[in-house]
Amino acid sequence: MSDFQTSTHRARWIFTPQELVEKYKASNQRAIQTLEKYGTTQMEVDIDGSFSFPEPQKDNAEKHSRSKPLNIEEEQSMRVFYENKLREVCSAFYFPNKIQATALLYFKRFYLHWSVMEHHPKNIMLTCVYAACKIEENHVSAEELGKGISQDHQMILNYEMIVYQGLEFDLIVYAPYRPLEGFVNDMEEFCPETNGHMLKDLHESAKLEVDRIMLTDAPLLYPPGQLALAALRRANNVHGVLDFERYIESVLSRQNSTHTYPELVEYLNAIDSWVMKYKFPSEKDMKHINRKLKSCWGHGSHEEYCLQFMFWVRNGKRNRSTSPKVQMKCKMGLLMCNHTFCFSSWIPKAIIVKHEFR
């Protein structure tokens, strides 16, 4: 098995914060230029990985000239939204953590090179889940995945090659879950007097902290071992299982690490800051962003009601303050939405039935 120290993950996919900013700026600027040139940012993708822009309609020139592209912060909100949808899909299929983590890393890497204005994150998200199942040897056919989420599986197959190209075919990734388990096992030897149940509780809490970390940009900035340590430290602050400062010093001395204790603590603090400043976009923000995105593609605004339904599903209940008229529009919008771009068309059927309007 390959080792992280010699992997493409370490060599090519760990960046500085400034490098991330520059990559997001570059993809956003390219999409803006595309909108100005073609009147649309939406790409048509073929199964061989090739893509093209549709010819803009002359009678829509004035409409396109009014289209406002997403800014970098709005693109970030869209990625955050669909990273959460990715987790929900993985949970609906009972996929293990390693598949969810691999799919998230694929999704994050893809949008270092592309803008959400160029490739819809819903399509990319589903394709990343499909690709992660393949690489992690938990194969689910595109037909099975498509059927489970009420989505045409051909879309997933069409985007598969362009996702691989966006990942530069570096498909082996390293998630924090395995080093997390290794650290917990090491803690048993470090403090043998500690109750086994306490370590188990620490491990479970740390896994939840890893889940939170994986939704931030931290996996693009720090190696998985440091992400695991940051999760353990946050969990230990709650459970108080061991002297974490002494444990880190022990790890550094035994591993002959090139990092000093102050340096490692600085990295862990930085990871904590990413978790603390993480913010899920509001329904109002997402409706605004979705409206702008559809404008870039030349689509109608009725999908705004699909997005409202999506938030109702996420919250697990109907928004009682919403008028019956808007509820009806939401239902009709859900039926009218083009399945290629609808926010809610891919929700697992069991979830939709559970939260359908009454």
Q: Are residues 205 and 256 in the same domain?
A: yes
- CA–CA gap between residue 248 and residue 227 (Å, rounded): 13
Radius of gyration, CA atoms only, the chain: 22
133 in Cβ contact with 139 (< 8 Å): yes
Q: Are 343 and 307 in contact (CB under 8 A)?
A: yes
Report the range out of 40-44, 151-155, 247-251, 296-300 with the highest average pLDDT. 247-251
Domain that holds residue 215: 177-276
Inside any domain, residue 101: yes
Q: 100, exposed or middle or buried, with CB in 10 Å at 0-12, 13-18, 19+?
A: buried
In a domain, 291, yes or no: no
Q: Specify the range with the lowest mean pLDDT, choosing from 12-16, 75-79, 164-168, 323-327.
A: 323-327
Q: Does residue 251 form part of some domain?
A: yes
Which range among 9-18, 199-208, 320-329 shows the weakest confidence by mean pLDDT? 320-329
H or E stretch including 34?
helix 17-38
For CA atoms 186, 192, 197, 199, the dihedral sign is negative
Query: What is the Cα–Cα distance from 120 to 78, expressed in whole angstroms?
Result: 10
More confident residue, 325 or 218: 218
Residues in the chain: 358
Which residues, at least 6 apart from 314, have a Cβ–Cβ distance to it below 8 Å? Answer: none
Query: In the prediction, which pLDDT does 340 show?
Result: 36
Which contiguous run of DSSP H or E holds residue 314? helix 303-315
Let me know whether 12 and 157 are in one domain.
yes
Q: Is residue 294 part of a domain?
A: no
Q: What is the DSSP letter of 295?
A: H
Please state, in angstroms and rounded to a whole number, the distance separating the CA atoms of residues 109 and 337: 29
Per-residue pLDDT at 349 = 43
* Whether residues 204 and 265 fall in one domain: yes
CA distance 228 to 187: 13
Q: Are residues 13 and 123 in the same domain?
A: yes
* Chain position carrying tokens 């990985």: 49
Q: Indicate if 147 and 184 belong to the same structural domain.
A: no
Average pLDDT, the chain: 82
| Token code pair at residue 289 | 């962003």
Give domain status of residue 350, yes or no.
Answer: yes
In this prediction, residue 345 has a pLDDT band, given cuts at 50, 70 and 90, of: very low
The structural domain count of the chain equals 3
